[in-house]
Amino acid sequence: MPFAELVTNYFPEDLLDGSPPKASLALSVPSDPFPKTRQWWVLHTKHQQEKALARQLLSIGIPFYLPLVSKDHLIRGKRVQSQIPLFGCYLFLYGTDEEYLLAIKTNRVISVLNVPDQWQLLHDLRRLQRLIMSGRPLTIEKRLQVGQKVRVRRGPFANIEGTIIKRRGTSRLLVAVDFLQQGASIAIDDFVVEPIA
């Protein structure tokens, strides 16, 4: 049985746009005294269940973001490229309390992390998506340490903020999702960045 690849890694298409996502508007019926608003939830999934959960959420129209990166594998001597989650066992849900409960009922979620700073998480996810969309090789970074905060001055990553780290003698720009203490880094020349005060 062939493995069904995920068609999209986020839904709806404007979820991470510069303007607030359309899904963030209050979803209420005029006679409903309690408007249903969306918020970010971080779902900690069972092992290798991120894509399956994303497919289920997509099929019922619940907004989510699953950062995916390309990885090459050798299968029976042939090079095969697949999309793997950047953060293993994590999926970002943007939903109402009712949608959150539907996600939990899929039996693919182990636990849920509450997000105290909704706008900071959205900001981190937007920066991360921009790095992923560049198509350049990313390195997954875990348990981040505080380093020099910088902003890219020019080039395809102009205005992205991150932290400069060194890996194997190479300078890399780290973009983190602080809430998870994880992120991704990309090789960058020191001369295109400027320190942030």
Domain boundaries defined on the chain: 1-115, 117-197
Question: Burial, 7: exposed, middle or buried (Cβ in 10 Å; 0-12, 13-18, 19+)?
Answer: exposed
The CATH architecture assigned to 1-115 reads 2-Layer Sandwich (3.30)
The CATH architecture assigned to 117-197 reads Roll (2.30)
Cis peptide upstream of residue 12 (ω within 30 degrees of 0): yes
CB 191 within 8 A of CB 145: no
Closest alpha carbon to 173 in 192, 186, 161, 157:
186
- Does the pLDDT at position 1 exceed 70? no
- Does the pLDDT at position 139 exceed 80? no
- Does the pLDDT at position 131 exceed 50? yes
- Does the pLDDT at position 46 exceed 50? yes
What pLDDT is stored for residue 144 in this prediction? Answer: 57
At 121, phi and psi to the nearest 5? -60, -45
The CA–CA distances, whole Å, from 161 to 4, 79, 93, 106, 115 equal 35, 34, 24, 36, 21
Across all residues in the chain, what is the average pLDDT? Answer: 81
- Does the pLDDT at position 4 exceed 60? no
